[in-house]
């Protein structure tokens, strides 16, 4: 079997996992130390906790708090190999993948590449707005938000100040709601103290959603409650109109309305990456790759797809599972069990998604939670959100740092992380 340099041929079957997000990391952690050679490939050498990107972007957490080095997780694990590389193509006939550092053969291939920002084909918006699908992009947003207010101090005209101070968040899903709420909290509690020369009555935080309500995948209760909280925090919500164009200083909506802002944060869509060599794989809603009840890519042997990339339709989820962490984690857990069962010549177990609920934080002491038939919001929901996210973080040290950051911010109404760290990378 052809191998990348310094990955030895093993007596055990080789499982290649591409992507170290929630699905890929869970699968690898379940498979190592069993009778497999596991090779993990990712473009970064760390796992990123995506649900808290927005807190990095709004100076609530340092980037190092929500990342964890992959090699540290698997120190002293036999027959495990990590390579920092990007997937370029899959050769199904040869059972190998081509990466940015060479080719690698596989016995079983698992794709868990996640998703990227969907700009719906609008190149102008893509080039002039900011997205948040990596820790680098979250840090870039933090830099630009802070730089804007440094620059606003030097602008003589009120209209020019408004344009640079206004922030527009596009997308009313959980990410957009959480980001808009965090920026509104900064406007209320933090920025006026840092920039007393600026009139923050001129600053507007907008949340735009093309659908007729926020938090589309969640309950009507959560949608109404989140909108109520955001309005109380001073966020201007506009639903039922899509963004048609953005020239870098003015947004134009489909209803003809315009908004002046040079800072547009795009959280409106998700698209899955194309995989050269798998062009004939069946695709479904959102261009996701269709898999069977065992997460095996339909029409292909020994190739599995997990998480955001996968479209697995069940009776309760005819359009596929939500593209969030829980389905990815559950799919990876069952796939690991099925691969171990396969080694023992046992039949696989079909996947069924168990919805453990949905939640979104809106701001200080404000969150909404859906747990089956139960829907609630407010301070209790906010503490539940904090606890669940804290426990999901990889690494005890990271949990401790995040806990103390949150506690300090809660007590003092302040964060001490408002530093501009310039990054040359947009990815």
The CATH number linked to 47 is 3.50.50.60
> Based on the domain organization, do 313 and 246 belong to the same domain?
no
Residue 62 has pLDDT above 80, yes or no: yes
Confidence of residue 350 (pLDDT cuts 50, 70, 90): very high
The reported pLDDT for the residue numbered 424 is 55
* Segment 325-350 mean pLDDT: 96
Q: 175 in a domain, yes or no?
A: yes
> Based on the domain organization, do 255 and 317 belong to the same domain?
no
Q: 371 in a domain, yes or no?
A: no
Cα–Cα distances (Å) from 223 to 13, 216, 372, 399, in that order, read: 48, 7, 15, 30
* CA 328 to chain CA mean position, Å: 12
> Based on the domain organization, do 128 and 252 belong to the same domain?
yes
* Segment 150-169 mean pLDDT: 92
> Based on the domain organization, do 166 and 240 belong to the same domain?
yes
> Based on the domain organization, do 133 and 30 belong to the same domain?
no
pTM given for the model: 0.92
The kind and range of the H/E element at 73 are helix 70-73
Q: How many CB atoms lie within 10 A of CB 84?
A: 17
> Based on the domain organization, do 173 and 248 belong to the same domain?
yes
What pLDDT, in 10s, does the model give residues 111-137?
999 999 999 889 999 999 999 999 999
> Based on the domain organization, do 186 and 237 belong to the same domain?
yes
Q: Decide if 49 contacts 352 (C-beta within 8 A).
A: no
> Based on the domain organization, do 59 and 197 belong to the same domain?
no
> Based on the domain organization, do 182 and 255 belong to the same domain?
yes
Report the SS3 class of residue 14. strand
Residue 89 has pLDDT above 90, yes or no: yes
Q: 222 in a domain, yes or no?
A: yes
d(CA 411, CA 408): 5
| Lowest mean per-residue pLDDT among 351-360, 397-406, 418-427 | 418-427
The kind and range of the H/E element at 98 are strand 96-99
Domain's final residue, options 219, 241, 269: 269
Q: 358 in a domain, yes or no?
A: no
- What residues make up the domain containing 240? 123-269
* Segment 351-370 mean pLDDT: 94
> Based on the domain organization, do 152 and 77 belong to the same domain?
no
**Among the listed residues 138, 199, 119, 190, the one whose alpha carbon sits nearest the alpha carbon of residue 166:** 199
Do strands 87-91 and 96-99 pair parallel, antiparallel, or not at all (unpaired)? Answer: antiparallel
Our separate counts of H helices and E strands in the chain read 12, 25
For the chain, the C-alpha Rg in angstroms (whole number) is 22
The reported pLDDT for the residue numbered 2 is 53
**Counting every residue, how long is the chain?**
427
Q: How many domains are there within the chain?
A: 2
What pLDDT, in 10s, does the model give residues 25-55?
999 999 998 999 999 999 999 999 999 999 9
Helical H segments across 104-190, by residue range: 123-128, 135-152, 158-165, 174-189
Domain's final residue, options 205, 234, 269: 269
Q: What is the mean pLDDT of the chain?
A: 93
Domain's final residue, options 343, 366, 400: 343
> Based on the domain organization, do 127 and 221 belong to the same domain?
yes
What pLDDT, in 10s, does the model give residues 64-84?
999 999 999 999 999 999 999
Q: Decide if 282 contacts 88 (C-beta within 8 A).
A: no
Q: 354 in a domain, yes or no?
A: no
> Based on the domain organization, do 168 and 232 belong to the same domain?
yes
Instruction: Look up the CATH number of the domain holding residue 210.
Output: 3.50.50.100
The reported pLDDT for the residue numbered 151 is 95
* CA 427 to chain CA mean position, Å: 13
Confidence of residue 388 (pLDDT cuts 50, 70, 90): very high
Q: 412 in a domain, yes or no?
A: no
The kind and range of the H/E element at 385 are helix 379-392
């Amino acid at each position: 079997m052809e191998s990348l340099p310094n990955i030895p041929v093993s007596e055990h079957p080789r499982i290649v996992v591409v992507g170290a997000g929630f699905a890929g990391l869970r699968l690898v952690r379940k498979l190592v130390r069993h009778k497999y050679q596991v090779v993990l490939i990712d473009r970064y050498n760390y796992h990123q906790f995506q649900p808290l990107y927005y807190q990095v972007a709004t100076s609530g957490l340092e980037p190092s708090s929500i990342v964890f080095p992959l090699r540290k997780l698997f120190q002293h694990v036999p027959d495990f190999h990590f390579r920092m590389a990007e997937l370029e193509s899959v050769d199904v006939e040869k059972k190998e993948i081509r990466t940015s550092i060479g080719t690698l053969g596989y016995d079983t291939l698992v794709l868990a590449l996640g998703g990227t920002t969907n700009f719906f084909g609008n190149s102008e918006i893509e080039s002039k707005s900011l997205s948040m699908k990596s820790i680098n992009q979250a840090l870039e947003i933090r830099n630009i938000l802070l730089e804007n207010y440094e620059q606003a101090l030097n602008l003589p005209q009120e209209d020019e100040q408004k344009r640079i101070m206004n922030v527009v968040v596009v997308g009313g899903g959980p990410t957009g709601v959480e980001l808009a709420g965090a920026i509104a909290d900064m406007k209320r509690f933090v920025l006026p103290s840092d920039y007393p020369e600026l009139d923050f009555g001129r600053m507007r935080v907008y949340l735009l959603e093309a659908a007729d309500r926020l938090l589309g995948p969640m309950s009507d209760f959560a949608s109404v409650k989140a909108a109520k909280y955001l309005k109380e925090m001073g966020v201007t919500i506009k639903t039922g109109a899509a963004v048609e164009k953005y020239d870098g200083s003015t947004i134009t909506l489909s209803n003809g309305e315009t908004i002046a802002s040079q800072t547009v944060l795009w959280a409106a869509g998700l698209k899955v990456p194309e995989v050269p060599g798998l062009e004939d794989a069946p695709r479904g809603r959102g261009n996701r790759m269709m898999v069977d009840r065992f997460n095996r890519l339909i029409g292909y042997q020994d190739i599995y797809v997990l998480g955001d990339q996968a479209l697995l339709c069940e009776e309760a989820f005819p359009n596929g599972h939500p593209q969030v962490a829980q389905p990815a984690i559950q799919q990876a857990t069952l796939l690991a069990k099925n691969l171990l069962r396969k080694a023992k010549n046992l039949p696989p177990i079909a996947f069924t998604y168990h919805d453990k609920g949905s939640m979104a934080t809106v701001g200080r002491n404000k969150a909404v939670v859906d747990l089956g038939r139960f829907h609630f919001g407010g301070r209790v929901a906010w503490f539940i959100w904090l606890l669940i996210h804290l426990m999901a973080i990889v690494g005890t040290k990271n949990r401790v740092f995040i806990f103390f950051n949150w506690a300090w911010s809660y007590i003092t109404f302040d964060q001490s992380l408002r530093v501009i760290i310039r990054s040359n990378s947009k990815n």
